[in-house]
Amino acid sequence: MGLFDFFKKKKTYPLYAAKGGCCYSCGQSIGGQTVYDVPYDDFYDSILWRGWYKHHMFMQTNKRISDEDIENLRIRDRQPSVLVCSTCIYMFK
């Protein structure tokens, strides 16, 4: 964290009332919850999410995930934005 990172303005994202589906980050059911619409680039560029994803996938599959693996996910994903639950939104602000 740099000296001036404290003063950076935090990002905000539109809120939606989800009727169904799951969080694109953790997979938690989001039906009936307020969720955030995170742009595609913000999602895949998040350093916190990348660290969380690498750890989570290692714990589930015992396979190490590289930044190249995440870039391949980004290339295959064609959504303009993704829905993220209130538990995961801290990774994108």
* pLDDT tens column, 1-46: 555 555 555 678 888 888 889 999 999 999 889 999 999 999 999 9
Total of domains in the chain:
1
Residue 80 lies in a domain: yes
> Computed from CA positions of residues 13, 14, 15, 18, in that sequence, does the dihedral angle turn out positive or negative?
negative
Residue 65 lies in a domain: yes
- Residue 74 lies in domain: 11-92
pTM: 0.79
| Strand-pair partners of 17 | 34
Residue 1 lies in a domain: no
pLDDT digits (tens, 9 = 90+) for 52-77: 999 999 988 999 999 999 999 999 98
Residue 5 lies in a domain: no
Residue 21 lies in a domain: yes
Residue 4 lies in a domain: no
> Which of 47-51, 69-73, 76-80 shows the lowest mean pLDDT across its residues?
76-80
